[in-house]
Chains A and B, each alone.
Chain A
Amino acid sequence: LAKTTQPISMDSYEGQEVNITCSHNNIATNDYITWYQQFPSQGPRFIIQGYKTKVTNEVASLFIPADRKSSTLSLPRVSLSDTAVYYCLVGVHTDKLIFGTGTRLQVFP
Protein backbone atom coordinates (compact mmCIF):
# COMPACT_ATOMS: atom_id res chain seq x y z
CA LEU A 1 0.00 0.00 0.00
CA ALA A 2 1.32 3.43 -0.92
CA LYS A 3 2.37 5.49 2.08
CA THR A 4 1.61 9.18 2.25
CA THR A 5 3.51 12.04 3.84
CA GLN A 6 1.87 15.35 4.61
CA PRO A 7 2.63 18.23 6.98
CA ILE A 8 1.56 17.68 10.56
CA SER A 9 -0.02 21.11 10.87
CA MET A 10 -0.70 24.35 9.01
CA ASP A 11 -2.00 27.74 10.04
CA SER A 12 -3.93 30.19 7.92
CA TYR A 13 -6.17 33.22 8.17
CA GLU A 14 -9.72 33.60 7.01
CA GLY A 15 -10.05 34.44 3.34
CA GLN A 16 -6.71 32.97 2.33
CA GLU A 17 -6.14 30.08 -0.03
CA VAL A 18 -4.67 27.02 1.64
CA ASN A 19 -2.63 24.41 -0.21
CA ILE A 20 -1.82 21.13 1.49
CA THR A 21 0.67 18.94 -0.32
CA CYS A 22 0.89 15.21 0.09
CA SER A 23 3.76 12.99 -1.07
CA HIS A 24 3.09 9.46 -2.26
CA ASN A 25 6.23 8.31 -4.04
CA ASN A 26 5.18 4.66 -4.25
CA ILE A 27 1.74 5.21 -5.75
CA ALA A 28 0.62 2.30 -7.92
CA THR A 29 -0.97 2.48 -11.34
CA ASN A 30 -4.42 1.57 -10.02
CA ASP A 31 -4.33 3.90 -7.02
CA TYR A 32 -6.56 6.92 -6.67
CA ILE A 33 -5.84 9.93 -4.48
CA THR A 34 -8.55 10.88 -2.02
CA TRP A 35 -8.83 13.58 0.62
CA TYR A 36 -11.01 13.45 3.69
CA GLN A 37 -11.77 16.13 6.28
CA GLN A 38 -12.44 15.43 9.94
CA PHE A 39 -13.82 17.73 12.62
CA PRO A 40 -13.39 16.89 16.32
CA SER A 41 -15.75 14.19 17.56
CA GLN A 42 -17.05 13.47 14.06
CA GLY A 43 -16.30 10.87 11.44
CA PRO A 44 -14.21 11.82 8.40
CA ARG A 45 -15.96 13.37 5.43
CA PHE A 46 -15.02 12.90 1.78
CA ILE A 47 -13.74 16.05 0.11
CA ILE A 48 -12.38 15.12 -3.29
CA GLN A 49 -10.86 12.29 -5.30
CA GLY A 50 -8.72 12.20 -8.40
CA TYR A 51 -6.46 10.08 -10.55
CA LYS A 52 -4.47 12.61 -12.57
CA THR A 53 -4.32 16.29 -13.61
CA LYS A 54 -6.86 18.50 -11.88
CA VAL A 55 -10.19 17.88 -10.24
CA THR A 56 -12.43 20.62 -8.90
CA ASN A 57 -15.66 20.53 -6.98
CA GLU A 58 -17.67 23.02 -4.97
CA VAL A 59 -15.41 22.59 -1.95
CA ALA A 60 -11.83 22.18 -3.19
CA SER A 61 -9.45 21.52 -6.03
CA LEU A 62 -7.01 18.67 -6.32
CA PHE A 63 -3.86 19.06 -8.39
CA ILE A 64 -1.95 15.96 -9.44
CA PRO A 65 1.26 16.25 -11.49
CA ALA A 66 2.01 13.89 -14.34
CA ASP A 67 4.23 11.58 -12.26
CA ARG A 68 1.47 11.31 -9.60
CA LYS A 69 4.07 11.14 -6.82
CA SER A 70 2.45 14.03 -5.01
CA SER A 71 -0.83 15.88 -4.90
CA THR A 72 -2.04 19.22 -3.59
CA LEU A 73 -5.38 19.93 -2.00
CA SER A 74 -6.36 23.55 -2.51
CA LEU A 75 -9.00 25.18 -0.32
CA PRO A 76 -10.02 28.60 -1.66
CA ARG A 77 -10.79 31.42 0.77
CA VAL A 78 -10.86 29.38 3.97
CA SER A 79 -13.12 30.27 6.86
CA LEU A 80 -12.99 29.42 10.55
CA SER A 81 -15.22 26.42 9.86
CA ASP A 82 -12.47 24.88 7.72
CA THR A 83 -10.42 24.26 10.87
CA ALA A 84 -10.09 20.48 10.83
CA VAL A 85 -7.75 17.59 10.14
CA TYR A 86 -7.23 16.79 6.46
CA TYR A 87 -6.19 13.31 5.39
CA CYS A 88 -4.55 12.35 2.12
CA LEU A 89 -5.18 8.72 1.15
CA VAL A 90 -3.88 6.66 -1.71
CA GLY A 91 -5.25 3.32 -2.78
CA VAL A 92 -7.64 1.38 -4.89
CA HIS A 93 -10.84 3.31 -4.61
CA THR A 94 -13.05 0.36 -3.83
CA ASP A 95 -10.84 -0.79 -0.99
CA LYS A 96 -10.53 0.02 2.68
CA LEU A 97 -9.15 3.43 3.56
CA ILE A 98 -5.65 3.71 5.01
CA PHE A 99 -5.34 6.92 6.98
CA GLY A 100 -2.13 8.57 8.12
CA THR A 101 -2.01 11.15 10.88
CA GLY A 102 -3.27 13.93 8.62
CA THR A 103 -2.66 17.68 8.53
CA ARG A 104 -4.19 19.74 11.28
CA LEU A 105 -5.33 23.02 9.71
CA GLN A 106 -6.01 25.92 12.05
CA VAL A 107 -7.74 28.96 10.56
CA PHE A 108 -7.48 32.21 12.49
CA PRO A 109 -9.79 35.22 12.21
Chain B
Amino acid sequence: DTGVSQDPRHKITKRGQNVTFRCDPISEHNRLYWYRQTLGQGPEFLTYFQNEAQLEKSRLLSDRFSAERPKGSFSTLEIQRTEQGDSAMYLCASSLGRDNYNEQFFGPGTRLTVL
Protein backbone atom coordinates (compact mmCIF):
# COMPACT_ATOMS: atom_id res chain seq x y z
CA ASP B 1 0.00 0.00 0.00
CA THR B 2 1.60 3.25 -1.19
CA GLY B 3 -0.84 5.52 0.62
CA VAL B 4 -2.56 6.56 -2.61
CA SER B 5 -6.09 5.22 -2.91
CA GLN B 6 -8.42 5.06 -5.88
CA ASP B 7 -12.11 4.40 -6.08
CA PRO B 8 -13.66 2.38 -7.55
CA ARG B 9 -11.17 -0.35 -8.31
CA HIS B 10 -13.29 -1.69 -11.15
CA LYS B 11 -15.98 -0.07 -13.25
CA ILE B 12 -18.03 -1.64 -16.00
CA THR B 13 -20.19 0.69 -18.02
CA LYS B 14 -22.07 0.81 -21.27
CA ARG B 15 -20.92 2.91 -24.17
CA GLY B 16 -22.25 6.43 -23.95
CA GLN B 17 -22.46 6.54 -20.16
CA ASN B 18 -20.51 8.94 -17.97
CA VAL B 19 -18.09 7.67 -15.33
CA THR B 20 -16.17 9.39 -12.55
CA PHE B 21 -13.11 8.12 -10.72
CA ARG B 22 -11.66 9.42 -7.49
CA CYS B 23 -8.06 9.56 -6.29
CA ASP B 24 -6.90 10.35 -2.77
CA PRO B 25 -3.19 11.16 -2.75
CA ILE B 26 -0.75 11.04 0.11
CA SER B 27 -1.84 13.99 2.25
CA GLU B 28 1.31 16.11 2.15
CA HIS B 29 1.88 15.64 -1.58
CA ASN B 30 1.16 18.73 -3.64
CA ARG B 31 1.44 17.09 -7.07
CA LEU B 32 -1.15 14.70 -8.42
CA TYR B 33 -0.97 12.88 -11.74
CA TRP B 34 -3.36 10.82 -13.85
CA TYR B 35 -2.15 8.15 -16.24
CA ARG B 36 -3.89 5.61 -18.46
CA GLN B 37 -2.57 2.14 -19.18
CA THR B 38 -3.76 -0.36 -21.75
CA LEU B 39 -2.78 -4.01 -21.88
CA GLY B 40 0.86 -4.59 -22.71
CA GLN B 41 1.74 -0.90 -22.72
CA GLY B 42 3.35 1.37 -20.21
CA PRO B 43 1.26 4.04 -18.50
CA GLU B 44 0.53 7.15 -20.57
CA PHE B 45 0.42 10.57 -19.00
CA LEU B 46 -2.95 12.33 -19.03
CA THR B 47 -2.73 15.35 -16.77
CA TYR B 48 -1.28 16.70 -13.54
CA PHE B 49 -2.04 19.17 -10.78
CA GLN B 50 0.14 21.30 -8.57
CA ASN B 51 -2.15 21.79 -5.58
CA GLU B 52 -5.49 22.76 -7.16
CA ALA B 53 -4.04 24.09 -10.41
CA GLN B 54 -4.12 21.83 -13.47
CA LEU B 55 -0.74 22.55 -15.04
CA GLU B 56 -0.61 20.25 -18.03
CA LYS B 57 -2.95 18.14 -20.12
CA SER B 58 -1.93 15.53 -22.66
CA ARG B 59 -3.32 15.45 -26.18
CA LEU B 60 -4.78 12.12 -25.10
CA LEU B 61 -7.19 14.02 -22.89
CA SER B 62 -10.02 14.70 -25.30
CA ASP B 63 -12.92 17.05 -24.59
CA ARG B 64 -14.80 14.14 -23.07
CA PHE B 65 -12.28 13.95 -20.24
CA SER B 66 -12.18 16.39 -17.37
CA ALA B 67 -10.16 16.33 -14.18
CA GLU B 68 -10.45 18.40 -11.06
CA ARG B 69 -8.66 18.81 -7.77
CA PRO B 70 -10.92 21.34 -6.05
CA LYS B 71 -9.13 21.87 -2.75
CA GLY B 72 -5.73 20.58 -3.64
CA SER B 73 -6.45 17.27 -1.95
CA PHE B 74 -8.40 14.52 -3.71
CA SER B 75 -8.96 14.54 -7.46
CA THR B 76 -11.66 13.29 -9.77
CA LEU B 77 -11.41 12.19 -13.39
CA GLU B 78 -14.64 12.18 -15.35
CA ILE B 79 -15.17 10.61 -18.75
CA GLN B 80 -18.31 11.64 -20.57
CA ARG B 81 -19.98 9.60 -23.30
CA THR B 82 -17.62 6.69 -22.83
CA GLU B 83 -16.34 4.77 -25.84
CA GLN B 84 -14.97 1.26 -26.06
CA GLY B 85 -11.53 2.74 -26.66
CA ASP B 86 -11.65 4.25 -23.19
CA SER B 87 -11.33 0.79 -21.67
CA ALA B 88 -8.08 0.84 -19.72
CA MET B 89 -6.54 1.04 -16.28
CA TYR B 90 -6.60 4.60 -14.95
CA LEU B 91 -3.76 5.25 -12.55
CA CYS B 92 -3.31 8.11 -10.14
CA ALA B 93 0.01 9.10 -8.61
CA SER B 94 1.18 11.76 -6.22
CA SER B 95 4.49 13.31 -5.32
CA LEU B 96 6.05 16.02 -3.21
CA GLY B 97 7.29 17.74 -6.34
CA ARG B 98 10.46 18.99 -4.69
CA ASP B 99 13.13 20.28 -7.01
CA ASN B 100 15.65 17.61 -6.24
CA TYR B 101 13.46 14.55 -5.91
CA ASN B 102 10.16 13.48 -7.43
CA GLU B 103 9.35 9.89 -6.63
CA GLN B 104 5.80 9.31 -7.73
CA PHE B 105 3.62 7.04 -5.61
CA PHE B 106 0.98 5.22 -7.59
CA GLY B 107 -2.41 4.02 -6.50
CA PRO B 108 -3.80 0.59 -7.40
CA GLY B 109 -5.71 1.98 -10.36
CA THR B 110 -9.29 1.88 -11.57
CA ARG B 111 -9.94 -0.65 -14.29
CA LEU B 112 -12.60 0.63 -16.69
CA THR B 113 -14.42 -1.67 -19.08
CA VAL B 114 -16.74 -0.08 -21.61
CA LEU B 115 -19.17 -2.52 -23.19
Contact = CB atoms under 8 A, between A and B. Distances in A.
Interface of A: 41-46, 49, 85, 87, 93-102
B2 interface: yes
Contacts of B105: 46
Q: A-side binding surface: helix, strand, loop or mixed? A: loop
B102 interface: yes
A101 B99 contact: no
A100 B33 CA distance: 17
Given A101-B40, A102-B42, A46 B103 contact: yes
A79 B13 CA distance: 39
B72 interface: no
B45 A45 contact: no
B106 interface: yes
Given A43-B2, A93-B102, 8 more contacts: A41-B108, A41-B109, A43-B93, A43-B109, A44-B43, A44-B106, A96-B56, A97-B104
